[in-house]
């Protein structure tokens, strides 16, 4: 997990978004989105890490970029939790590297699509010990969240925006909603937006994400 793509802003960096791609994609998947968002976030660095290539059980054991193996699809995702922890640690290392480079942790946002979203939710709420600027959870779920999740005061102040397609047949909307509801029940300021789309990203969604990020990073 060393092939990280870094998109520097046109002006001196004072914020950072670490964005994880989904299963079978790569670090270039969200580069066009990062480039579009930098038009309104001119001092924000984008860090786009690359998942390792490994066998994925539900896809017949074919090797592909994957943050963790998915062992079964139902009734809930059965996953390789050790690989999820490894990926979460990689995210935390990336966060620490940005802090070491002078970025305030309250200006570091974690974002992830699908499987990448599951990793950043786990890292932000169950592993990273300190503050962050927010979490963007796109078309994703939270396999490690529980109904009785107890979070620190710091975590209960971490803003989250969950975005999901109403026609998503890969990560069902109910799975994304369950992650949202567990965060809300734990006292987290979490928002939900859905769109008439499948397992994908639409221009209106990116505009909404841009507005959400501007509100947090330009305040």
Residue range 55-108, pLDDT digits in tens: 999 999 999 999 999 999 876 789 999 999 999 999 999 999 999 999 999 999
Number of domains the chain contains: 1
Q: Which has the closest alpha carbon to 161: 217, 117, 98, 106? A: 117
Q: Residues 34, 5: contact at Cβ < 8 Å?
A: no
- DSSP assignment of 33-51 equals HHHHHTTT-TTEEEEE--P
pLDDT at 73: 82
Residue range 1-58, pLDDT digits in tens: 558 999 999 999 999 999 999 999 999 999 999 999 999 999 999 999 999 999 999 9
Question: CA quadruple 60, 65, 34, 159: dihedral positive or negative?
Answer: positive
- Assigned token pair, 24: 């079978």
Instruction: Give the predicted TM-score (pTM) of the model.
Output: 0.96
pLDDT at 219: 53
User: Residue 43 maps to which CATH number?
Assistant: 3.40.50.1820
- Segment 123-151 shows an average pLDDT of 96
Q: Which domain holds residue 156?
A: 5-217
Q: Which residues are part of the catalytic machinery?
A: 114, 168, 199
Question: CA quadruple 68, 85, 135, 99: dihedral positive or negative?
Answer: negative
């Amino acid at each position: 997990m060393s092939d990280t793509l870094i998109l520097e802003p046109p002006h001196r960096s004072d914020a950072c978004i670490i964005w994880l791609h989904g299963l079978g994609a790569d670090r270039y998947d969200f580069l066009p989105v990062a480039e579009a968002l930098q038009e309104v976030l001119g001092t924000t660095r984008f860090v786009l890490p690359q998942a390792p290539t490994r066998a994925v059980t539900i896809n017949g054991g074919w090797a592909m970029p994957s943050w963790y193996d998915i062992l079964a699809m139902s009734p809930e995702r059965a996953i390789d939790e050790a690989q999820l922890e490894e990926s979460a640690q990689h995210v935390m290392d990336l966060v620490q590297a940005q802090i070491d480079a002078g970025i305030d942790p309250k200006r570091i946002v974690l974002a992830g699509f699908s499987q990448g979203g599951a990793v950043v939710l786990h890292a932000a709420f169950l592993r990273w010990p300190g503050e962050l600027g927010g979490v963007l959870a796109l078309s994703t779920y939270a396999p490690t969240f529980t109904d009785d999740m107890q979070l620190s005061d710091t975590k209960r102040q971490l803003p989250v925006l969950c975005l999901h397609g109403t026609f998503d047949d890969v990560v069902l909307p109910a799975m994304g909603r369950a992650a949202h509801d567990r965060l809300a029940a734990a006292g987290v300021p979490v928002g939900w937006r859905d769109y008439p789309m499948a397992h994908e990203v639409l221009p209106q969604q990116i505009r909404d994400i841009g507005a959400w990020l501007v509100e947090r990073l330009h305040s």
